[in-house]
Amino acid sequence: MEVLMPEPQIYVERTLAIIKPDVIDKEEEIEDIILRSGFHIIQKRKLRLSPEQCSNFYAEQFGKVFFPNLTAYMSSGPIVAMVLARNCAVSCWKELLGPSNSLRARITHPHSLRARYGTDELRNGLHGSLSISSAEKEIRFIFPEAILEPVPTGQRARDYLNLYVKPTLLAGLTALCKEKPADPMIWLADWLIEHNPNKPKLQYRISQ
């Protein structure tokens, strides 16, 4: 009896992360935690939002008591915005962040980023998208030039593998055989990173 295996699929999700003005001096430390938690930083930008831009970014919070303080806080200095990618990026980033109230986070999620870097309910150190749809909207807001294409699955995923992944991997293995390095795994990993045809370019900009 033939056992039917499910077709292989590729799942990659993106979310927006923001290091807020009061903890921007912890940028390298926070990025290290992000990378060690399995995320890839595919775009990065340093900028300063105006109060009007903050109002537009947090438009869904308009009318709430804390809204004026929120926009003043977010426009008080430069921020670092990053597009993070991994499987289940939105939920994993939210879990790593912890509760939005840093005081509560220290009690219920003491190892979360907001517990470590936040001050209170308003100044919680970092931002994360609440859902996949809000992530797409927020990424377009901060990175207007970003192209957010649907993640390929099924036949489109196999076509992508055949077009980009397999040729690059074959070329890397061929080069590995010719080079015969002492540590083939590390050599191949470095070669693939260097020759990735879709290697993302981090963007560093400061906007006033």
- 3 pLDDT more than 60: no
Confidence of residue 199 (pLDDT cuts 50, 70, 90): low
- For residues 99 and 118, the answer to whether their CB atoms sit within 8 Å is no
Q: What is the mean pLDDT of residues 170-196?
A: 86
Q: Which of 40, 109, 111, 127 does the annotation list as catalytic?
A: 127
Answer yes or no: 127 catalytic: yes
Confidence (pLDDT) at 202: 46
- For residues 90 and 135, the answer to whether their CB atoms sit within 8 Å is yes
Q: If you average pLDDT over every residue of the chain, what do you get?
A: 85
Same domain, 119 and 163: no
- What CA–CA distance (Å, rounded) separates 184 from 135? 38
Same domain, 111 and 33: yes
> Among the three residues 97, 117, 142, which one is the final residue of a domain in this structure?
142
Residue 166's CATH number: 1.20.890
- Flag whether 205 is in a domain: no
Q: What is the mean pLDDT of residues 60-79?
A: 93
Q: What is the mean pLDDT of residues 162-174?
A: 83
Q: What is the mean pLDDT of residues 124-136?
A: 94
Higher per-residue confidence, 14 vs 190: 14
Q: What are the start-end ranges of the H helices in the chain?
A: 27-36, 51-57, 67-74, 89-97, 102-108, 113-117, 132-142, 154-160, 166-179, 184-194
- Flag whether 150 is in a domain: no
Q: Which of 13-27, 49-63, 88-102, 174-188 has the lowest mean pLDDT?
A: 174-188
Residue-number span of the structural domain to which 73 is assigned: 14-142
> Among the three residues 98, 113, 142, which one is the final residue of a domain in this structure?
142
- 11-47 confidence digits (pLDDT tens): 579 999 999 999 999 999 999 999 999 999 999 999 9
Same domain, 82 and 176: no
Q: How many Cα atoms sit within 13 Å of 61 on the Cβ side?
A: 14
As a whole number of Å, the CA-based R_g of the chain is: 20
Q: What is the DSSP string of 143-182?
A: -TT---PPPP-HHHHHHHIIIIIHHHHHHHHHHHHHH--S
Confidence (pLDDT) at 69: 94
Number of domains in the chain: 2
Q: What are the start-end ranges of the H helices in 82-127?
A: 89-97, 102-108, 113-117
Confidence (pLDDT) at 206: 45
- 143-159 confidence digits (pLDDT tens): 987 655 555 666 766 77
Confidence of residue 123 (pLDDT cuts 50, 70, 90): very high
- What CA–CA distance (Å, rounded) separates 39 from 80? 16
- What CA–CA distance (Å, rounded) separates 39 from 33? 9
- Flag whether 117 is in a domain: yes
- For residues 126 and 45, the answer to whether their CB atoms sit within 8 Å is no
- 70-117 confidence digits (pLDDT tens): 999 999 999 999 999 998 999 999 999 999 999 999 999 999 999 999
Same domain, 70 and 163: no
